[in-house]
Amino acid sequence: MHQLLERAHSRLRDNAAAGPLNVEHVKALILESISQWESDDEPRTLDDMDVGFGGRPSKVQLGIRRIEHGRLRRLAIRYVGQLETYLAGSGRESVPVAFELGFGRKGEDGETRPPLEIGRPPYTVFLQGSVDRVDRVGVDGRRFRVIDYKTGTAPSQLKVKSGQALQLPLYTMAVDALGLVPMVGGDNQVEFGYWELSRRGYIPIKIEEWQQYIDNIHNFTANLISLMQKSAFNVSSRQEDCTDSCEHSSMCRVGQIRHLGKTWTQAPLMAGGAGSKPDEVNGEGGE
């Protein structure tokens, strides 16, 4: 789905003069991209499939592939409706300008961009990742919106604020700090949100004090590294029901620890605990 959206929006960006998106145009391009993809993805020989009989894919395999095509087509059509709502609301005067932007490694466009460094010296790490999409918002070209597509449910605002869902904020920091999209002069603003493809469309995440929030992320990261260097590798997960759906739960020790009723009472938290310096944090706790 990401590739389909990237393909359609990239064509729009490359072929059209910069300006507001036209929903009908986007819809036509997305449907065209889907048809093209379905045609390219249609298995014709054994080599196109993982398994098969007699040099040809089986009817079951073809059926599964077509169900998948239908699912993606429905998702894409739903996306067009969501886009219409977006363009009438918070996405008014927005233009998608970048897709699948890699950093810290070679991106799909062949460019190698630097990694994002987070933490506080000497407790720092370098991150790599790939940003789904960046929209330029507003007429002055100084506001950028980092968007993460989700086929499932997006993390809540609370999870993002408390540091339990940091991927998108970190990607936003990368866009800002590494200059992943061309920005005009200084004084640029970055914001971010999830795009729930199967349900709610674009969901903005509001962080009132962005600079403070970034500081918290750096401190929290430094705390975690400091704890790891002290071998405080406690088995712990803040998501209480993660073992219900995780495919690794049968071999993950979190399930065993919970079964025994053990908790890590001093597990570091970003909100509140993250403002302290690394060495002030005592993460030693018992399994």
CB 226 within 8 A of CB 121: no
Under rule CB under 6 A, residue 254 binds ligand SF4: yes
Q: Please, which residues have CB within 8 angstroms of residue 167's CB and are 6 or more apart in sequence?
A: 129, 148
Using the minimum distance from each CB to ligand SF4, give the nearer residue, 184 or 228: 228
Under rule CB under 6 A, residue 256 binds ligand SF4: no
Under rule CB under 6 A, residue 263 binds ligand SF4: no
CB 99 within 8 A of CB 133: yes
Using the minimum distance from each CB to ligand SF4, give the nearer residue, 90 or 151: 151
CB 203 within 8 A of CB 254: no
3-state class (DSSP) for residue 64: helix
Kindly identify the residues of this chain, within the stretch 227-246, that bind ligand SF4 according to CB under 6 A. Answer: 237, 242-243, 246
Under rule CB under 6 A, residue 77 binds ligand SF4: no
The distance in angstroms from the start CA to the end CA of the chain is 41
Under rule CB under 6 A, residue 252 binds ligand SF4: yes
Under rule CB under 6 A, residue 46 binds ligand SF4: no
3-state class (DSSP) for residue 127: strand
Q: Is residue 110 within a helix (H) or strand (E), and if so which, with residue range?
A: none
**Least spacing, CB of residue 207 vs ligand SF4, in Å:** 25
Using the minimum distance from each CB to ligand SF4, give the nearer residue, 75 or 252: 252
Which residues make up the interface to ligand SF4 (CB under 6 A)? Answer: 237, 242-243, 246, 248-249, 252, 254
